[in-house]
């Protein structure tokens, strides 16, 4: 049985969404955020203290995008993975990693220094700079996404899950009104997917059943 350790709305939502898209059986283990601080026992499973953690037999993985790639390849063949023989293989790897390294990283600075830190440790300048950084990178997607089904390969793939999670986090941070039009349209389409809807329900049902706060960290009052 695959086990996924997850906090509501955290990056572990990527593998959760992938599991639902692939219709795999899994066990969802909910943690309060941040697990590194709240659940010291979790450090024995994942010394980083971060989510996701995926356990699949002897396999242990802690990078959300790598887990999506692993699941699609390991339990495929699946159209969610772009094969090495396809013309968009390079684009697939690029957008897969772009979603985390370029689109999620700047938002974590905004999240931390605008919402999670105590008022005296907040850094308005860093928040403004990294907010601008994120929106600047997002604008580069505008011409690429116009009229497309997915970000590459002409279909929905794990790269869309990677980028889609970054857009979900941006929505929680109140950045959605500044999305360029084609990015906004793309995000609306992604949210209509059954797999996305099932993953959203799964995290809330599991959080309630396991006594974990269902309010995502970015929306909590300090
Ligand atoms: N690059 C990793 C980042 C993992 C990560 O930092 N996860 C955050 C949640 S979004 C976390 O667990 N933060 C709590 C902490 O750093 O203590 C990934 O994509 O999975």
Q: Each residue's pLDDT tens digit in the chain (222 positions)?
A: 999 999 999 999 999 999 999 999 999 999 999 998 889 999 999 999 999 999 999 999 999 999 999 999 999 999 999 999 999 999 999 999 999 999 999 999 999 999 999 999 999 999 999 999 999 999 999 999 988 889 999 999 999 999 999 999 999 999 999 999 999 999 999 999 999 999 999 999 999 999 999 999 888 766
User: What are the E-state strand segments in the chain?
Assistant: 2-6, 26-30, 53-56, 59-61
From the CA of 169, give the closest atom in ligand 1. 10
Distance 2 CA to ligand 1 centre (A): 20
Is domain 2-78+195-219 in CATH 3.40.225.10, yes or no? no
* Environment class of 39 (CB within 10 Å of its CB; exposed 0-12, middle 13-18, buried 19+): middle
What lines the ligand 1 site, CB under 6 Å?
A: 10-11, 34, 36, 49-52, 63-65, 100
For the domain spanning 89-193, the CATH number is 1.20.1050.10
Domain boundaries, the chain: 2-78+195-219, 89-193
């Amino acid at each position: 049985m695959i086990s996924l350790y997850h906090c509501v709305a955290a990056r572990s939502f990527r593998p959760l969404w992938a599991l639902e898209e692939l219709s795999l059986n899994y066990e969802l283990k909910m943690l309060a955020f941040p697990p590194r601080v709240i659940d010291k026992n979790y450090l024995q499973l994942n010394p980083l203290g971060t989510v996701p953690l995926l356990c699949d037999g002897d396999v242990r993985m802690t990078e959300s995008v790598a887990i999506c790639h692993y699941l699609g390849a390991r339990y495929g063949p699946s159209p969610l993975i772009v094969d090495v023989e396809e013309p968009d293989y390079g684009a697939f790897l690029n957008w897969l990693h772009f979603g985390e390294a370029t689109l999620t990283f700047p938002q974590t600075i905004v999240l931390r220094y605008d919402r999670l830190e105590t008022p005296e440790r907040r850094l308005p300048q860093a928040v403004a700079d990294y907010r601008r950084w994120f929106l600047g990178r997002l604008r580069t997607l505008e011409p690429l996404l116009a009229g497309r089904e997915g970000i590459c390969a002409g279909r929905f793939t794990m790269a869309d899950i990677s980028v889609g999670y970054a857009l979900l986090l941006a929505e929680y941070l109140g950045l959605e009104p500044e999305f360029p039009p084609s990015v906004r349209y793309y995000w609306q389409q992604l949210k209509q997917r059954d797999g996305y809807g099932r993953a959203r329900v799964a995290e809330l049902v599991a959080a309630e059943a396991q006594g974990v706060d269902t309010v995502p960290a970015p929306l909590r009052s300090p």
